[in-house]
Structure 1
């Protein structure tokens, strides 16, 4: 054996860090963490700068669910999509309240209040469901793709009905009707756009 050649070119150690980062679950968690850190502050900024009724849309839980759906659709396998949704939305909730503390001087108690805890529980449930639905939209079965796309639109329809019911209970709002119209339009448009995009990719 040529010992001089061995000394000049020692065996390379495996790049463990790169291998770990290429794992689907690790990649999903990293992407979801970055997206969640951005989603919270951007949502708060949109609420405080956009005119009504668009500011209502920025404060929409359906938009956050759609974010988990879109992220889930970009990942595979399905476990990575669900994991991404589970990580994305809770981090977005905390980054939203943290942005309020930093930029609006809100109380730090908002980071661990009972209301925040409720939102975190809902974030885990909604994030896992819509992250998984995002992965199903790539299914080779047409019925599965249609069902997944419909779920992305249905959350807007449900939210529109909730806004309408709340508005009637409160005696009506100047912007509630406009917000309902926008959300119903999104309930129809989101599934169509989703199916068109997935068909193009396929």
Structure 2
């Protein structure tokens, strides 16, 4: 008969509570933000409403989840980022289905959900690296990834979608992320320097093939 009060059992229960509370909070926050972004599309004027449905903006949720959970073991930050992104998709399309005229075809929710399973863990790690990175490379890589995805979306908005307001907002965010998240002047400069090629690589690898297929 196992001893439920042994130190090992107590640690196991404490670890389980950490996982449940952390992932529940990330999922709940993602659901709320998903509903909010759906509503914001109706609130924001003109081309600005596309920012609410921006993949770059959505990655901030996973990055924030990873940063908040950075003191936990890294797998918690990974799962937290995933839950935040999956929650965003569920909240956005759930509100579209039950609060508006319906979400339509399942294709786009499934595409966004698939992207959430990739971007969520990656940006969860990026947030944890920024918050608790043991060396400068990780503290730079995390914000550089976030800034890079804003740069990629700025290029997409400018060159393919011709949404000038969204393009300027995303490109401004690409610059602001390193300035706001860098701890020193050197880290800010390194982060911005790394973000530029990351944005170009992401655009070439992700956006160009997608636009070719849709065209």
Unaligned residue ranges in structure 2 (runs of 5+): 188-215
- Look up the match of 2:27: 33
> 8 Å contact 1:85–1:124 — kept in the other structure?
no
- Matching residue within 71, 78, 86 for 2:82: 86
> 8 Å contact 2:62–2:120 — kept in the other structure?
yes
- Matching residue within 128, 134, 144 for 1:135: 128
**Relative contact order, higher structure (CA 8 A, sep 6+):** 1
Q: CA deviation at 1:115?
A: 2.1
- Matching residue within 140, 154, 175 for 1:188: 175
Q: Deviations over 1:5-57 (max 9, x none)?
A: xxxxxxx9x999x736642x323211111112101100001111112333121
Question: What SS does structure 1 have at the residue aligned with 2:182?
Answer: helix
- Look up the match of 2:211: none
Any residues of structure 2 matched to 1:1-202 within 5 Å, and which?
A: 19=14, 22-23=17-18, 25-75=19-69, 76-106=72-102, 110=105, 113-137=106-130, 138-167=132-161, 172=162, 176-196=163-183
> 8 Å contact 1:164–1:177 — kept in the other structure?
yes
Q: CA deviation at 1:187?
A: 0.4
TM-score (norm 1): 0.77
Counterpart-to-counterpart distance in 1, 2:135 and 2:142:
11
Counterpart-to-counterpart distance in 2, 1:103 and 1:117:
19
> 8 Å contact 2:59–2:123 — kept in the other structure?
yes
> 8 Å contact 2:62–2:123 — kept in the other structure?
yes
Change (3 A) 1:139 1:119: same
> 8 Å contact 2:66–2:78 — kept in the other structure?
yes
- Look up the match of 1:3: none
TM-score (norm 2): 0.73
After TM superposition, the runs of 4+ consecutive aligned structure 1 residues lying more than 6 A away are none
Counterpart-to-counterpart distance in 1, 2:118 and 2:129:
17
RMSD (CA atoms): 2.5
Counterpart-to-counterpart distance in 2, 1:53 and 1:105:
22
Counterpart-to-counterpart distance in 1, 2:50 and 2:108:
19
Q: CA deviation at 1:163?
A: 1.5
Which structure: larger Rg? 1
Counterpart-to-counterpart distance in 2, 1:128 and 1:15:
28
Aligned length: 175
Unaligned residue ranges in structure 1 (runs of 5+): 1-11
Counterpart-to-counterpart distance in 2, 1:40 and 1:149:
23
> 8 Å contact 2:28–2:87 — kept in the other structure?
no
